[in-house]
Amino acid sequence: MIAYLDYNATAPLRPEALDAMTRAVAEPGNASSVHAAGRRARRLVEEAREKVAALAAVDPRWVIFTSGGTEANNLALGGLAAGPRLVSATEHDSVLQAAPQAERLAVRPDGQIDLDALEEALRGQPAGALVSVMLANNETGVLQPMEAVVERAKAAGALVHCDAVQAAGKLPLDMVRLGVDCMTLSSHKLGGPPGVGALLCRDNLPLTPLLQGGGQERQRRPGTENLPGIAGFGAAAEAALRDLPQVGSIAGLRDSLETGAQTIAPEVRVFGAESARLANTSCLALAGMAAETQIMALDLAGVAVSAGAACSSGKVRPSHVLTAMGASAGEAASAIRVSLGWRSSTDDVDRFLAAWGDLYRRSQAA
Q: Over the stretch 230-245, which tens digit does the pLDDT of each residue have? A: 999 999 999 999 999 9
Do 67 and 207 have their domain in common? yes
Do 226 and 273 have their domain in common? no
Residue 335 CA to residue 307 CA, distance in Å, equals 6
Greater model confidence, 22 or 81? 22
Do 257 and 292 have their domain in common? yes
Do 7 and 23 have their domain in common? no
Angle at 280 between CA 267 and CA 4, to 5 degrees: 90
Which pLDDT tens digit goes with each residue over 45-94? 999 999 999 999 999 999 999 999 999 999 999 999 778 999 999 999 99
Q: For residue 6, list its beta bridge partners.
A: 339
Task: Indicate the Cα dihedral angle 126, 128, 129, 131, nearest 10°.
Answer: 140
pLDDT at 314: 54
Do 203 and 272 have their domain in common? no
Do 252 and 233 have their domain in common? no
Q: Which residues have a Cβ under 8 Å from the Cβ of 291 and sit 6 or more positions away?
A: 307, 308, 316, 333, 334, 335, 336
Residue 257 CA to residue 38 CA, distance in Å, equals 49
Compute the average pLDDT of residues 118-147. 95
Do 201 and 271 have their domain in common? no
Q: How many domains does the chain have?
A: 2
pLDDT at 308: 60
Do 265 and 238 have their domain in common? no
pTM: 0.95
Greater model confidence, 248 or 24? 24
Full residue range of the structural domain in which residue 92 is found: 15-242
Of 186-190, 212-216, 272-276, 322-326, which gets the smallest average pLDDT?
A: 212-216
CATH number at residue 119: 3.40.640.10
- Active-site positions read 311
